Chain A
Amino acid sequence: MGFKNLFRHETTRHRALSTGQVVPDSARCVQCGICSFNCPIGIDVRRHAWTGEAVVNSRCLTCGECIARCPRGVLRFAHTDLFAEAAK
């Protein structure tokens, strides 16, 4: 990976961390609970993955621990698009 790409990757990551939220893809989830187990502040991420709802929790640090630990790639960061939501 070239430097330019590496840099872009980091920028993207940083942006995701600061403006994103954790979003599950329920079809991948097997409810093993590794996400909840590893959340540093004890959010029950697994429950979100069961119901398919994004982790909208003001306490979420967006640290990415749950995303990295999930053995099945269930979780990802996505933008919180508040304005689009309000426009509906």
Chain B
Amino acid sequence: MTRHLILGMGVAGIAAAESIRATESGAEIVLVGDDPFGYYSRPGLAYYLTGEMVEKQLFPFTTADFQRLNVRYVKGRTTKIFREEHQIEVDGKNRVSYDRLLIAVGAQAVRLTIPGTDLEGVVKLDHMADARHIQQLARRTRRAVVVGGGITALELVEGLVAQRVKVTYLLRGDRYWNNVLDEHESRIVEKRLEEEGVELIHHAELTEVLGKRGRVDSIRLLDGRTIKCNLLAYAIGIQPRVELAKDAGLAVDKGILVDEHLQTNDPDVFAAGDVAQAYDPLTGRSIIDSLWGPAREQGRVAGLNMAGRKTAYLKSPPFNVTRLAGLTTTIIGAVGRGGRDDDLVGIARGDSETFRSLPDAISAQSGFDVNHLRLLVGEKTLLGALVMGDQTLSIPLQKMIAGKADISPIREKLMAHDVKIADVVVEFWKEWSRNFVVT
């Protein structure tokens, strides 16, 4: 009987366990995890912080689900991998052997490296324990400072605001998330934050955390300003947890290098999720995709390969959904600065637009006070889209972009001044979706 050992209790590990079980019903599956809370929705921690969710609801699997999966769970931290012996070491003492090993230990927050980060009240948002800690501190915090330019930082801001903490949000650049959002979109987010009472400071460079009796008392910026606060929350990036793999002599770049079968340079060792840097046969590059969706898909594919069903992981076009200052936002394809080239034209329309419901009554999320659509129009196809607020068009656009719909018939119309691009897209979609098999 083959023994599959899965390191990590995140979505990649769980998805792998599911696909191994589905493929090889008799296999032995052992999960090893160091998070005392086991498997929960890490992205959901943001909604736990805002109070939209209670803690016990963040666990998607019940005991019955784990029984059905028929997995053994070892709680502990993997401290070493002995590839020769096909064994791992847990908590520096116990050894567990494997036939196939999956490393799915995820990523963790990049630490702040300025003086004062060891003070009580300096927090990050990686795990359930962090979220609990923030909740507890927020109760006795009046003023907080948040630093970081991406989604997690914004989630920290929103979570603290929801706890009635006065928040100052530090941005390094001139606007929020400037490598993905355009100026107008950044301003939409910033304006909504300001309406919630958040103070934004642009071009802010944090240099020091100052304490009193071991607790955060204020922070200092490069320009000399100090800001009083009892809490400093940071989210300045994540880094894959590669130390184990590195120590074991596996090929590591930024993440653990795997081929399109999620296999490392050791044929019995696989990696998936935030820790993996997967080879993409389409572009010839190895990419880390630190998102929940790809992590689940990588876990699933890794599981199939571990169970002997050779399957390639095909990276889907860039796609992410998030909520920015209360607005559901879908980002599809080449939207950020990195994806721009000369024949790519961005057109954006905001609130003045009528967002029509699709005639076949696909009724998606709607009713936002701000709706905004940006399309990135290539020579013949749509290369990207950003849908903020009303989500009616987001699935049609996702399919048109993935399906490389030939938009030549409407390109000129789209580019015309003062046209309702949402309406043009809807009309085109009606025709296109009728002629193509859409799954």
Contacts and interface: CB of A to CB of B under 8 A. Distances in A.
Given A2-B354, A27-B293, A71-B47, A37 B362 contact: no
Given A13-B363, A33-B41, A73 B321 contact: yes
Contacts, number: 108
Contacts of B44: 30-34
Contact of A67 (B43, B361, B364): B364
A78 to B, nearest CB: 6
Nearest to A36: B57
Interface residues of B, number: 38
Contacts of A12: 357, 359, 361, 363
B356 interface: yes
Closest 4 CB pairs of A and B: A32-B44, A30-B43, A16-B363, A77-B363
Contacts of B53: 32-34, 37
B52 interface: yes
A38 to B, nearest CB: 9
Contact of A68 (B41, B330, B367): B367
Interface string A1-44: 11001001100110110011000010111111110110000000
Interface string A63-88: 01001111111111111000000000
B67 to A, nearest CB: 16
B60 interface: yes
B385 interface: no
A13 B357 contact: yes
16 contacts: A2-B354, A8-B356, A13-B357, A27-B293, A28-B293, A30-B43, A32-B41, A32-B47, A32-B58, A34-B52, A34-B53, A37-B54, A72-B322, A75-B365, A76-B362, A78-B362
B394 A73 contact: yes
Contact of B354 (A5, A68, A77): A5
A50 B60 contact: yes
B342 interface: no
B365 A68 contact: yes
Contact of A73 (B42, B316, B359, B365): B365
B292 interface: yes
Interface string B41-70: 111101100001110011110000000000
A29 B47 CA distance: 14
B360 interface: yes
B362 A1 contact: no
Nearest to B392: A76
Most chain A CB neighbours (cut-off 10 Å) among B47, B57, B60, B367: B60
A71 B323 contact: yes
Interface in B360-381: 360-367
B68 to A, nearest CB: 12
B66 to A, nearest CB: 14
A68 B390 CA distance: 11
Given A71-B47, A72-B323, A73-B394, A31 B363 contact: no
B47 A77 contact: no
Contacts of B292: 29-31
Given A8-B357, A34-B53, A79-B360, A72 B41 contact: no
A32 B59 CA distance: 8
Interface in B307-331: 316, 319, 321-323, 328, 330
B273 to A, nearest CB: 13
Contacts of B316: 27
A28 B331 CA distance: 11
A37 B52 CA distance: 9
A2 B395 CA distance: 25
A71 B361 contact: no
Given A29-B293, A71-B52, 8 more contacts: A9-B356, A16-B361, A27-B293, A30-B44, A33-B60, A46-B60, A73-B321, A74-B321
Contacts of A9: 356-357, 366
B363 A37 contact: no
A8 B11 CA distance: 41
Contacts of B52: 34, 69, 71
Given A27-B319, A30-B41, A32-B43, A67 B365 contact: yes
Nearest to B328: A73
Given A13-B363, A34-B53, A76 B395 contact: yes
